[in-house]
Amino acid sequence: MLAEMTLRGFRVFAAAVPVPFSGGFRAATSVLRTNEDGLPVEVVFTDPALEDGQVWPGPTGAVQFALEVAEAAVLNHERLTIARAEDA
């Protein structure tokens, strides 16, 4: 299961990755900063096995968690960008 969305100038990918022999799913996410044309220019955050590979019983929970982590990554990236601009 894969979810894609645009969030505040970032392209977010969240996935539920099947875990062999367990019947469960790992959460994975990638966050890319995009330019004004919506094209990816920088990977901001990526993790193929969130929570050290915790296994969720279903894909919906894994994707929901991955989306929450991606949103936090976007907010943290924005805060760091603002802080760096203020220090300059």
Query: Which tens digits make up the pLDDT trace of 25-70?
Result: 999 999 999 998 888 899 999 999 999 999 999 999 999 999 999 9
All domains in the chain, ordered by first residue = 2-87 (3.30.160)
Q: How high is the pLDDT of residue 83?
A: 78
Q: How confident is the model at residue 88 (pLDDT cuts 50, 70, 90)?
A: low
How far apart are alpha carbons 81 and 12 in whole angstroms?
A: 18
The amino acid sitting at 19 is V
Q: Which residue has the tokens 């968690």?
A: 65
CA dist list (Å): 65 to 68, 70, 83, 87 = 5, 9, 27, 33
CA dist list (Å): 20 to 26, 28, 56, 69 = 10, 15, 13, 23
Does the predicted model carry a pTM greater than 0.95?
Answer: no
